[in-house]
Amino acid sequence: MDSAKTADSGGARTPEMVGSKIKGSGNLSSKDMFLRAADSGGVRTPEMVGSKIKGSGNLSSKDMFLRADKFDLRSLDIQLEKHLSRVWSRSVMENQRPKEEWEIDLAKLNIRYVVAQGTYGTVYRGTYDDQDVAVKLLDWGEDGLNTAAETAALRASFRQEVAVWHKLDHPNVTKFVGASMGTSNLKIPAKAASGEASESHPTRACCVVVEYLQGGTLKQYLIRKSREKLAFKVVIQLALDLSRGLSYLHSKKIVHRDVKTENMLLDTSRSLKIADFGVARVEAQNPRDMTGETGTLGYMAPEVLDGKPYNRRCDVYSFGICLWEIYCCDMPYPNLSFADVSSAVVLQNLRPDIPRCCPSALANIMRRCWDANPDKRPEMDEVVRLLEAIDTSKGGGMIPDDQLRGGCFCLRPVRGP
């Protein structure tokens, strides 16, 4: 192949074209082999090797050069301008996104060590702006560990928890500090095999930051007291804290949907606060809009287990189970499988056995709260009034294990502490 003539190209050599489609180039014949100075003004064209150019047909190895006047440069400019405009707009939107009122400043967050770990979340202890906090890290599944559906559910759960929690203010509800969503700047300490600190977390992890309560969960506290049991006044104090917190939530049209002793936290003075709003939601006006098995088996109301519509009264049922657990310092249905519990609660009206030494006023509250008919269960504000009316001066707590003698302890005349 001859090189381009100086008279035609002005001394400018045309490069080879490599594998692309060029809009509006037309069909090129073997004579269209050279680029003229009048057509190109000395501008080099991109390289191209053996490919199909839009409107040009198949090029052979000899068709190495294209005429500049065959390019639709105006069309290419328009396409490039549109692309750059989209990129610029997206960048501006991301940078100018208004900050949510609950978003925290990550520079003030210091995450220290793991407190608890679950299926999709890990709880750390840390500090935020010199305040002791608990940091709940939620794995959004961006690293391929979860399916798209699972990831979507986790994102929805996070947004739901934040939307519910950041508006609440009550002494028996854990105080919300803030949250961070979808940030890769979160520094999470982890112990590597060498014992050195490392960062091992999803690039799109998010977190919820709440006040840290040193007393641990109510479940842990009751396990520690399983032998000695609780004084009756302590039982009523814990029950009142929980009932007041739930009454407040219900007044805000919020259904917790996972009321259990593991989701209740204690501070150093044994005050109880409701935590974990991962499955909480604003109550629907139409109960039929709230269905599905949401909660923890053993605490779930029959209508929830049965997949029927439900409302805030499902929390009342769960409270009744918690009240029994607080009094007995024991677990409900310890010897039954999940399937047996679910079936028996719905079909056979299974409930925990109330000890005969339990004061009748408290036993009646338990029975009313876990009634099979949601409409017969009291509202939580009524439960608060019933608990406040109970006299604790004469005792009535569960008999400690080390005081038990032969026979049924419930028949003994001595009342518990």
- Residues 391-404 as b/e (b if ≥16 CB within 10 A, e otherwise) read eeeeebbbbbeeee
Same domain, 330 and 405: yes
The confidence score (pLDDT) of residue 271 equals 97
Instruction: Please report the pLDDT score of residue 64 as a whole number.
Output: 55
Instruction: Please list the active-site residues.
Output: 258
Please check whether residue 96 is in contact with residue 102, taking contact to mean a CB–CB distance below 8 angstroms: no
Residues 113 and 128 in one domain: yes
178 in the same domain as 276: no
Of the three residues 211, 235, 250, the one that is the final residue of a domain is 211
Q: For residues 246 and 315, is the Cβ–Cβ distance under 8 A?
A: yes
Question: Are 195 and 224 within one domain?
Answer: no
Domain of 382: which CATH number?
1.10.510.10
How many other CB atoms are there within 10 angstroms of residue 152's CB atom? 13
Same domain, 403 and 278: yes
Q: Which residue type sits at 42? A: G
Give the CATH number for residue 115: 3.30.200.20
Q: For residue 315, is it within any domain? A: yes
* Tally of domains in the chain: 3
**Is residue 239 domain-shared with residue 185, that is, in the same domain?**
no
Question: Does 1 reside within a domain?
Answer: no
Helix (H, G, I), strand (E, B) or coil at 305: helix
Residues 87, 133 within the same domain: no
Same domain, 205 and 351: no
What six digits make up the tokens of 241?
Answer: 């804290």
Which of 186, 211, 236 is where one domain is finished?
211
Give the residue carrying structure tokens 């440069």.
73
Domain that holds residue 45: 6-95
Whether 310 contacts 287, CB under 8 Å: yes
One domain for residues 317 and 401: yes
Place of tokens 């508006």: 167
**pTM more than 0.75:** no
Do residues 301 and 153 both lie within one domain? no
- Domain annotation covers residue 100: no
Chosen domain end from 40, 62, 95: 95
Q: Would you give the DSSP letter of residue 329?
A: T
Q: What is the pLDDT along the chain (417 residues), one digit of tens a residue?
A: 454 444 444 444 444 444 444 444 445 444 444 444 444 444 444 444 444 444 445 555 455 565 666 667 777 777 787 777 766 655 455 455 567 778 888 888 888 888 877 655 788 899 998 899 998 887 655 555 567 777 777 677 777 778 778 889 999 999 999 988 765 566 777 653 334 444 455 556 678 899 999 999 999 999 999 999 999 999 999 999 999 999 999 999 888 888 999 999 999 999 999 987 655 444 444 444 334 445 577 899 999 988 898 899 999 999 999 999 999 999 998 888 878 888 899 999 999 999 999 999 999 999 999 999 999 999 999 999 999 999 999 888 888 866 755 444 454 444 556
Q: What is the pLDDT of residue 205?
A: 67
| Residue 228 and residue 376 in one domain | yes
